[in-house]
Amino acid sequence: MVKAYIALGSNIGDREGNLRSAFENLEAKMTVLKGSSIYETKPMYLENQEWFLNCAVEVETELTPRQLLEFLKSIEKEFGRKVVERNGPRIIDLDILFYGNQIVTEDDLKIPHPRIQERAFVLVPLAEIAPQLVHPIIQKTITELLAELNYDKSEIKKASVFESP
């Protein structure tokens, strides 16, 4: 069993309902150990869209990184996610942030997620559930990465609490 961290995001339809349903779907193939609060966050990169709800979960899984990616993509497909525009609106977005201490570099799979350190919408919820987790490439904790990030704190606010196991 490996501990992995997954980011969840949604900015279309019932955003909170989408996150909660995706959370439940994760439990089909892994054990969810912790879930962060849900945060409302301003869109990054492509700002002309609705604000997102984001959270992070810690899971324990027997799936390989590739199997985990395929499982997450199958959940996105089940929700009807279509990639129309990079960083655009989405019903659900599920990203592998970390998979144990492994470093994976493939064309369509990079672990740790390559842009964690620039994303408050990932670091804030992740710091809530894994503040001392060390990034295996950067060699800093999530708390340290968040402290170094220059971001507008008004653009990320706690929206609700996730009931984690």
**Residue 108 among the catalytic residues:** no
Q: Which of 20, 95, 107, 108 is catalytic?
A: 95
First to last CA, the chain: 18
DSSP structure class, residue 161: -
**What number is the average pLDDT over the span 34-54?**
83
CB-neighbour burial class of residue 2 (10 A; exposed 0-12, middle 13-18, buried 19+)? middle
**Residue 93 among the catalytic residues:** yes
**pLDDT over 90 for what percent of the chain?**
64
In this predicted structure, the answer to whether residue 31 has a pLDDT above a threshold of 50 is yes
Q: For residue 90, what pLDDT band results from cuts at 50, 70 and 90?
A: confident
- The single-letter code of the amino acid at 121 is F
Q: Which of 15, 20, 81, 119 is catalytic?
A: 81
- The single-letter code of the amino acid at 143 is T
To the question of pTM greater than 0.85 for the whole model, the response is: yes
**What number is the average pLDDT over the span 83-98?**
78
Q: Which of 66, 93, 108, 115 is catalytic?
A: 93
Q: Which of 15, 20, 86, 90 is catalytic?
A: 90
**Residue 115 among the catalytic residues:** no
Question: What are the chain's domains?
Answer: 2-159 (3.30.70.560)
Lookup result for tokens 């990184």: 65
